[in-house]
Chains A and B, each alone.
Chain A
Amino acid sequence: MAAPESGDGNNGAARMVTLISSDNTRFEVEAAAASLSQTLQLTILDGGGGGGDGIPLPNVDSATLSKVLEYCIKHAPAAANGGAPNATAVDRAELERFDNEFVNIDQSVLYSLIMAAHNLEIEGLQSLVAKKVADMIKGKSPMEIRRTLGFPDPTPEEQAEMNAHMLEYGWAYE
């Protein structure tokens, strides 16, 4: 005897959940994709987010959430395979290509993304964006880093302090 259908929408079609951004935009997405977020996964396991309810995300605006979900949807199949131990090299290369393209965006979007990834506990995304920012600052002098990240020019006091520190670390300067 087959078990009776529970009627929770799990008969063939993937279960969907609704996420609501801070500016009240509703996003319908597969539960498997949303579950890349550790925070959302708990709610979804409890049966939340289905039907007309939706899960409100008061800290994430719609532009950022749409970007976050783009990442989750792309990475969900690999994550469902438990980190995809049997993924082909082609699949992995494709994900890598996607990741590289994905973080090729404005700094302001990057910062919103890393905050959202942190709040939603999406480890892969947080790591991806952190790596991108690290790549932006490595191999640069302190002043170049400040300019890259749009810091204001240092005050005379800050500049004097920077110079003093540079003198102290003679081993680092050719």
Chain B
Amino acid sequence: MSSPADDLILEVFLRLPPHPTCLLHVSLVCKHWRRLIHGHWFLNHLRARHHNVAPLLGFFHKDGFVPTGDSPDRLSAAHFSQLQGSGWMVLSSRHGRVLLRNTYSMQSEALLLVWDPMTGGRSYLPIHPKYRRNGCSSRPFSVVFLFAFRGRVFAGVYSSQTKEWGDLVSMGIPRELSSIKEANSVFISNALYLLWPCNYKIKIIRFHLATKRLQYIEISQSIHVVQAMTKMFQVIVLGGELMSTLQDGSGMLHK
């Protein structure tokens, strides 16, 4: 093959599926291609081309990870399922990272684990402030901890940068919302929306990360909730401002 100029090669790369496995294979073809794929120009243009919407790579099911796509452009189910069933339970995943909780039979104290399956990085964080143990982590992250107690909902944020839980904020809630049981959440525009099924209706607790404000949203009958089989994931379609943004954060793994 005669070697066309780099910008022609990049034009070809831009038209590849934005799946990380596909890009990885292409980057392994030769050193020169590797440099182009890893370059800022390519990354920025690839993102812009796909409107900064990350591809859906798969989702976590209680029995393990279910990757999308066909081989070889497909993530390793075994790699992504390695922690499940070995004392850890997947709570949520977004922005390429997975939040897990240990099962109590294994250790007496409850732990959270933020896992980056691509780099293998693991950060353990204590649910109780006295319990501290930290793994490696390069990119900063936050974990939001929400619980209901005596007619109020409380929220606290753990920051991987300060390695501490921030102050709790709280808000009064209607009496029927007494406890949060494995509620599903979506993360949109720096706010976490917790879906709270109650008496066949849906309530939403909104927690804004920057302002640390809690907000209670009541949903009228214009909402349709599609709950797939178990509590695997939820898709919400509703009118108004949440419409466009809710599509993206259904507890699935995005790179």
What distance in Å separates the Cβ of A167 from its nearest Cβ neighbour in chain B?
Answer: 11
Closest B residue to A172 by CB, please name it.
Answer: B21
Q: Is B121 an interface residue (CB 8 A)?
A: no
Q: Return the CB mask of B57-82 against A: 1 if under 8 Å, else 0.
A: 00000000000001111111111100
> Using a CB-CB cutoff of 8 Å, which residues 82-108 of chain A contact chain B?
107
Please report whether the interface of chain A is mostly helix, strand, loop or mixed according to DSSP.
helix
Q: Is B242 an interface residue (CB 8 A)?
A: no
Q: Return the CB mask of A130-174 against B: 1 if under 8 Å, else 0.
A: 110111011111100110011100000010011001100111111
Give Cα distance in the complex from A174 to B31, angstroms. Answer: 24
Cβ-closest 8 pairs across A and B? A134-B15, A142-B28, A130-B11, A133-B12, A172-B21, A171-B79, A130-B12, A131-B15
What distance in Å separates the Cβ of A80 from its nearest Cβ neighbour in chain B?
Answer: 25
> Using a CB-CB cutoff of 8 Å, which residues 195-237 of chain B contact chain A?
none
Q: Given A146-B29, A166-B28, A172-B24, A139 and B118 touching (CB < 8 A)?
A: no
Residues of A within 8 A of B243 (CB): none
Residues of A within 8 A of B (CB): 107, 111, 114-115, 118, 126-127, 130-131, 133-135, 137-142, 145-146, 149-151, 158, 161-162, 165-166, 169-174
What distance in Å separates the Cβ of A151 from its nearest Cβ neighbour in chain B?
Answer: 7
Closest A residue to B17 by CB, please name it.
Answer: A138
Give Cα distance in the complex from A87 to B78, angstroms. Answer: 49
Question: What number of A-B contacts does a CB cutoff of 8 Å give?
Answer: 90
Give Cα distance in the complex from A59 to B117, angstroms. Answer: 48
On whether the beta carbons of B70 and A126 are closer than 8 Å, the reply is no
On whether the beta carbons of B4 and A115 are closer than 8 Å, the reply is yes
On whether the beta carbons of A138 and B2 are closer than 8 Å, the reply is no
On whether the beta carbons of A118 and B29 are closer than 8 Å, the reply is no
A141's partner among B12, B13, B17, B25 (CB-CB below 8 A) is B25
On whether the beta carbons of B8 and A134 are closer than 8 Å, the reply is no
On whether the beta carbons of A162 and B76 are closer than 8 Å, the reply is no
On whether the beta carbons of A174 and B17 are closer than 8 Å, the reply is no
Contact-size category for B: 35 or more
Residues of A within 8 A of B24 (CB): 169, 172
Closest B residue to A135 by CB, please name it.
Answer: B15
On whether the beta carbons of B30 and A114 are closer than 8 Å, the reply is no
What distance in Å separates the Cβ of B84 from its nearest Cβ neighbour in chain A?
Answer: 15
On whether the beta carbons of A107 and B25 are closer than 8 Å, the reply is no
Q: Is B183 an interface residue (CB 8 A)?
A: no
Closest A residue to B16 by CB, please name it.
Answer: A134
Residues of B within 8 A of A161 (CB): 31
Q: Is B20 an interface residue (CB 8 A)?
A: yes
Q: A118-B4, A172-B20 are in contact. List 17 more A-B contacts (CB 8 A).
A: A111-B2, A111-B4, A115-B4, A118-B8, A130-B11, A130-B14, A131-B15, A139-B73, A141-B72, A142-B26, A145-B29, A158-B30, A158-B31, A171-B80, A172-B24, A173-B79, A174-B76
What distance in Å separates the Cβ of B196 from its nearest Cβ neighbour in chain A?
Answer: 34
Q: Is B5 an interface residue (CB 8 A)?
A: yes
Residues of B within 8 A of A166 (CB): 28
Give Cα distance in the complex from A108 to B13, angstroms. Answer: 18
What distance in Å separates the Cβ of B168 from its nearest Cβ neighbour in chain A?
Answer: 36
On whether the beta carbons of B30 and A151 are closer than 8 Å, the reply is yes
On whether the beta carbons of A145 and B26 are closer than 8 Å, the reply is yes
What distance in Å separates the Cβ of A32 from its nearest Cβ neighbour in chain B?
Answer: 25
Give Cα distance in the complex from A134 to B70, angstroms. Answer: 17
Give Cα distance in the complex from A138 to B25, angstroms. Answer: 9
On whether the beta carbons of B76 and A172 are closer than 8 Å, the reply is yes
Closest A residue to B76 by CB, please name it.
Answer: A174
Q: Is B112 an interface residue (CB 8 A)?
A: no
On whether the beta carbons of B5 and A162 are closer than 8 Å, the reply is no
On whether the beta carbons of A142 and B117 are closer than 8 Å, the reply is no
> Using a CB-CB cutoff of 8 Å, which residues 1-55 of chain B contact chain A?
1-2, 4-5, 7-8, 11-17, 20-22, 24-26, 28-31
Residues of A within 8 A of B13 (CB): 134
Closest A residue to B15 by CB, please name it.
Answer: A134
What distance in Å separates the Cβ of B73 from its nearest Cβ neighbour in chain A?
Answer: 6
